[in-house]
Structure 1
């Protein structure tokens, strides 16, 4: 009889009201608007697998699609972004109400998710997780998953049942 294989630890905590904003616009359609937005952000727009840390407020820009960007911890950037897009073909608004963020850590995260990681260091990817579309952001030894609020209970239970993950109190 073979010994059971020990699973590597995965810990997670849930942020049910993450500080997230969604920016939706076509960067190729209006170059003046794109310049105005990047000036507010003090950073270029992110690429599909490369999030960008902003100079202004330390926010993190995450690509979700050609016209769809998430901004983690937008803070003081929101009023300036709202002003930059006013009257234009663009939207900026609170995404924290519609998303839940799971932060995964522990020795088992790399073993389970590194095959989906697009590159070393800080990177992001829109991917399938527990059969759902999620946005994953790898930072150091953690992975942050942004999940539609309607699927949060399912993802939490999936982590507990399938990965034997341990839920930690939110920090």
Structure 2
């Protein structure tokens, strides 16, 4: 499934040295949220039904106490998800190249209190003290279609690092 896409440049205030470029379906709405500071692309409500797919890109500076090792860092995030997200089920959790850099892939299922089961696919990579995350959340029943969409979005992801930026 190839979908017409639009490329977006994601720059998060306060982390200007890292930019992410990502292409999402051209018909989706996009915005940069203030809190939390993330880029969100959402399926239009007229095609979404009760639960629409969405892509989220976050670029965040890690604290001084964050592990240097990406696998260790993702292990902490993983443990937090099991501890705080009700009905969290891990489907896949493994290293994965992200735009030519060491990265991590995670797929998980979770069911909301209203009984809607969602699948969340995420990739993470780290550039210095900055963590870049790309996630696609959708209804589990659309798994085959969304697997292809996630791969298309992931293949479009590029991470640009501005050398010499003050932090």
- Choose between structure 1 and 2: higher strand proportion: 2
Higher-Rg member (1/2): 1
TM-score by length of 2: 0.21
- Choose between structure 1 and 2: higher helix proportion: 1
TM-score by length of 1: 0.21
